[in-house]
Chains A and B, each alone.
Chain A
């Protein structure tokens, strides 16, 4: 059976449009990227509550803060590079410090931006956003999770950074049974040999890796961490206790992202080796997204290799 594929940015735009009638004080801001971030879908459904701020991300974040201070529910959208990178200090001081109810919808995150190359491939956004006190960070893995996450963020009071991708990725969650709980990881595969903790598009790769490893007799637990902050400490500590080693997988720098967040928990509470699959300390470059993901080791094969290495080292 062909697995359906969809980019989470598409899910983001559709979810916003779907929620526009239910939430009359929902406003969506963009910085001249509505066609790419897919907030254009909301704009079509609800033009009077769509605000194009032009190519001025710093001001957009400030406007979002002001609208939130005046009681509106605001999503501010751009590429991750500009939302988290360029506008970082505005997000910190105008949104984070006063803990305003702004949701940042950051699309085109990670290396899978593809052909646009290094300037647009943001592998640092999770690290940046993690350092802001009180910031919630959500990195959904597929269409089903992304849509549920948008609603959850909207219903949550406080600043949230949401990370979406440009590349169409497999939809592996079942919309009929899927349940999103903010701050709670999801155990997708049971196993006691090792744990793979993954986020975003790497969750599906982790599942493929786990299947391959099973053929070799390795039973890997797979945990999907969609909420990177606050992270599900309990689930991670339990995995550390029961499986003795962890491999993390993320489409983000190995510095400051999911791997670091998991290591922070484990080193404090139950030290076990943590091996990271992610973008090493380097910039990306142009190329087709799928090829780049392979080249940078953001794939099931590399996760499986890391697991074998981890088990060999145990």
Chain B
């Protein structure tokens, strides 16, 4: 990846993080930790990889993304706003009564959302269905599904993993956001889904790993999914709360909104970072 592209992605990802904080702060609820950990991969996908058109959100040959870890909707919404699917101002009404932006992704009302999700384990099945439909139609689109590492504790994920390998859904890429934390604590303490890579390999997937906060690493990982004849999983090692110092690696920020003071600290940190990147 050339330096200019990388810098641009870093700038966009920083703005995406500011949108996440803006949304969750104004909602007074929501999930900032896991949203911040997928800010980079979502930015990379929507700004560097996916064939999508904000002016024609439902175009038939578009690439599709299912946010299987649907509680991190603030990250998806913030990326879609940066991509001009809807005004950034919408983020401030996240989770408000009568607002477009629901607590979890709603494909019926939000432009750019390809699948409603939120109940963990279900998104990857829908993504597999989309991939299979694409294969059957001879369509060229690719389907991406983003899962949490805690989400892997849902049995349906493994039903979908078995199905996707059986039907050789090479047009499906799952991203596991391995930040190591879930609501009740460390994933290894709660009910460990480890080893993640070995499990997917045993299920017949093409397995790739990446650093979730390094665009060069992400690019390499996604390139490795292009030529596989199997479904690909990218297990990205991430930091929950990435980009906001006091949220990083703190399980308490899984599903808590910052208060005004915390909001201001977060926004200052992110705007300082933005100034450095843009400077």
Contacts and interface: CB of A to CB of B under 8 A. Distances in A.
Interface of A: 27, 48-49, 51, 53-54, 56, 58-72, 89-90, 93-94, 97-99
Contact of A64 (B108, B123, B129, B134): B129
Contacts, number: 106
Given A58-B155, A90-B122, A63 B115 contact: no
Contact of B125 (A48, A62, A68, A71): A62
A200 to B, nearest CB: 30
B163 A63 contact: yes
Nearest to A72: B133
B120 to A, nearest CB: 10
Interface string B111-122: 000111011011
B126 interface: yes
B132 A97 contact: no
B116 A98 contact: yes
B159 A59 contact: yes
Interface residues of B, number: 35
A63 B156 CA distance: 11
A247 B118 CA distance: 42
Contacts of A56: 156, 159, 162-163
A129 B131 CA distance: 28
Given A27-B136, A63-B132, A70-B134, A94 B159 contact: no
A126 B141 CA distance: 38
A154 B71 CA distance: 33
19 contacts: A51-B132, A56-B156, A58-B122, A58-B156, A59-B128, A60-B125, A61-B125, A62-B123, A63-B128, A63-B129, A65-B126, A66-B131, A67-B129, A68-B129, A69-B129, A89-B119, A90-B119, A93-B119, A94-B126
B60 interface: yes
B107 A94 contact: no
Nearest to A89: B119
Contact of A63 (B60, B64, B125, B134): B125
A285 B116 CA distance: 39
Nearest to A90: B122
Nearest first, the 5 closest Cβ-Cβ pairs linking A and B are A66-B129, A62-B125, A59-B159, A70-B133, A66-B126
Contacts of B130: 66-67, 69-70
A93 B126 CA distance: 11
B207 interface: no
A69 B100 CA distance: 20
B76 interface: no
Contacts of A48: 136
B116 A94 contact: yes
B129 A93 contact: no
Contacts of B162: 54, 56, 59
A62 B160 contact: yes
A62 B108 contact: no
Interface string B133-170: 11011000000000000000001100110110011000
B13 interface: no
Interface majority SS on B: helix, strand, loop or mixed?
helix
A72 B107 CA distance: 17
B108 A98 contact: yes
Contacts of B129: 62-70
A99 B115 CA distance: 11
B136 A49 contact: yes
B127 interface: yes
Interface in B41-66: 60, 64, 66
Contacts of B107: 69, 98
Nearest to B115: A69
A90 B128 contact: no
Nearest to A68: B129
Contacts of B167: 51
A67 B167 CA distance: 14
A62 B136 contact: no
Contacts of A94: 115-116, 119, 122, 125-126
A192 to B, nearest CB: 46
A90 B136 contact: no
A276 to B, nearest CB: 33
Interface string B91-122: 00000000000000011100000111011011
Given A93-B122, A98-B115, A66 B136 contact: no
B60 A66 contact: no
Contact of A90 (B60, B125, B134): B125
B151 to A, nearest CB: 13
Given A59-B160, A59-B163, A67 B122 contact: no
Contacts of B64: 70
A58 B106 CA distance: 20
A97 B126 CA distance: 13
Contact of B133 (A54, A66, A97): A66
Nearest to A31: B159
A71 B166 CA distance: 22
A60 B125 CA distance: 8
Given A49-B136, A63-B126, A70-B129, 9 more contacts: A58-B159, A59-B160, A66-B126, A66-B130, A69-B126, A72-B133, A93-B118, A93-B119, A98-B108
A44 to B, nearest CB: 18
A77 B209 CA distance: 37
A70 B128 CA distance: 11
Contacts of B134: 70
